[in-house]
Every structure is written in structure tokens, then in C-alpha cells.
Structure 1
Amino acid sequence: MKELKIEAKTENLDAVLDFINAELDRKNCSMKVQHQIDIAVEEIFVNIAHYAYNPIIGDAIIRIAVSGEISIEFEDAGKPYNPLEKDDPDITASAEEREVGGLGIFIAKKIMDTLEYRHEDNKNIFVIKKHLI
């Protein structure tokens, strides 16, 4: 499993994506799957950057392992929060009627095969998985 420790700031998103994509390229991951993973990684990392430590800045640790599936783990020591407990947004409602937030995790749920959350040792650990095609 490869690991990147980085400050959880939106300015570091490109570095996170470069880290993930370098490993996906090494494993000859298809562009379709890589694009889907990039979308999910962006949504999750930006959420950590915006909400985990607010108003201070803390670190995020991103780990990736690729075998029969791609597993990406996000770890932060911010406020405990399980985004999977939030109801999915009503996508049939108009933008004006819809509650703010939740769309990014909803998208990640649709494009990834598995999303898991746990809180252990005072850390949020969020794992996304995608089967290789």
C-alpha cells in the first residue's frame, strides 16, 4: 500500500490526484476507471479539507492499494463524521428545492463499487473501492 501524508487544503488536491494517478498508471488502469476514481477522490479530499479541521488545518493521509480492485483510504484526525449516514439528496427536486450538500458523496456512491467509513483511534477512515475492468 502506497501512502501520502499531506495538509488537508484544497490547494493540495492536484498533488493528491497526481499521487493516485501515478499508481493507477503503473497498474495500467483504464482511463474510464481512472476518471471515475478522480471524481470520487476529489469529492472526498475536498470535504476533508473544508470540514474535518475547520477552522484550523490538519493532515490527511491517503493510501492506495491496487490488486484485483483499487482501494483508496482517506484518514484524518478531524471531527468525527460519517458522510454515509446522510440521506441521499433528492435529485428529482429542482436546485432551488434541494438541500445544500451531499451531492459529492452521492456521486461517489454511484461510481464506486464500495464506500466504507469507520472511526477508530480518534481518526476518520473513509475507504473507496473500485473493481478493475
Structure 2
Amino acid sequence: MPHSHNTLALPADLGATPLALQWIEGLAERLGWPARITFRLSLSLDEALTNVVSYAFDPPGPETPAITVSCQADDTRIKIELRDNGRPYDPTAGAPPPLAVDLDEAHVGGHGVRLMRYYLDTLDYQRQDGWNCLTLIMKIA
């Protein structure tokens, strides 16, 4: 696979997620990623981006909301970087909620980071110059 770097600007609303998923699936097809890799990256990006559009800009801040997603890929790994200028939030801080023992104890929500940690080789957060930067890395076997 040749080295590739692509960036997409997204609206800061619920329309961002389907646009990003369509974009990542197009990259996967063009670059020949295995279906397993595409599924894991798409699910992880969906989880992360849904959280950004749902919580990062509510209430609105002084800046115009902005979200970008970029992808760098080569023969050994795929690196997706999700950036937004919303409120600071580190999804990697702290432990995910405990797993429920049975359905009566199960609660919706809070398990997206657990899925991302399971599927990705690296999940990293940094706050840089007023931007949240979430990096998702998957090695290509």
C-alpha cells in the first residue's frame, strides 16, 4: 500500500458521523484495507465522533465549532486523528464503567471507549492549542 494522507473537514452536528464513515470506507476501498480493519476503524471513529458532536459544543463556545479528521496510512499502520475545538475532554482518562453481570444491571452508554481500546492498537488524547486531538492507530498485520 502506498503512503497516503487525507483530511476531511466536518460540520459540528450529527451529519458529521455519516460523512466521516463514508469517507473512511472510501479510503479503505481505494487503499485495499481488509474488511476486518475497516470495520474496527469505522466503529471506533463512529464512537469518537458521535461523542464529539453530542458533547463538545454544548453549550456553544466563543469559537465557530470545527471538526477535522485525517488519515495517514502505509504498509504497517493506519493512523486516524480526530480534532475538534470544543470543550477539553480526554476520553482515555479513567476506566470505562464496569460490565454488567446481567441485563437487569446493564446501562446504555459509556462503553464506546472500551470498544475503541479493544479494537485499536493505540488510543491517545492530547489538548493542543485549544484543540482536542484524539489519535486512533491500528497496525496492519
TM-score by length of 2: 0.86
Q: What are the Cα deviations for residues 69-120 of structure 1, in whole angstroms up to 9, with x where unaligned? A: 0100000000001011131221144455456632011111101110000001
Greater shift in the superposed pair: 4-13 or 96-105: 96-105
2: CA distance, partners of 1:61 / 1:77 = 9
Greater shift in the superposed pair: 65-74 or 5-14: 5-14
Greater shift in the superposed pair: 11-20 or 107-116: 11-20
Instruction: Establish whether residue 63 from structure 1 lines up as the match of residue 67 from structure 2.
Output: no
2:15 corresponding residue in structure 1: 11
Greater shift in the superposed pair: 21-30 or 37-46: 21-30
Greater shift in the superposed pair: 97-106 or 114-123: 97-106
Q: CA deviation at 1:11?
A: 2.1
Q: Larger Rg: 1 or 2? A: 2
2:53 corresponding residue in structure 1: 49
2:91 corresponding residue in structure 1: 83
After superposition, residues 112-123 of structure 1 pair within 5 angstroms as 112-123=120-131
Quick one: which amino acid aligns to residue 24 of structure 2?
I
Q: What are the Cα deviations for residues 10-53 of structure 1, in whole angstroms up to 9, with x where unaligned? A: 22211101111211212110011101111101000000000111
CA contact (8 A) 2:16 2:49 kept: no
After superposition, residues 20-59 of structure 1 pair within 5 angstroms as 20-56=24-60, 58-59=65-66
2: CA distance, partners of 1:28 / 1:54 = 38
2:117 corresponding residue in structure 1: 109
Number of residue pairs aligned between Structure 1 and Structure 2: 133
**SS at the partner of 1:88?**
coil
**SS at the partner of 1:42?**
helix
TM-score by length of 1: 0.91
Gaps of at least 5 residues in structure 2 are none
CA contact (8 A) 2:123 2:136 kept: yes
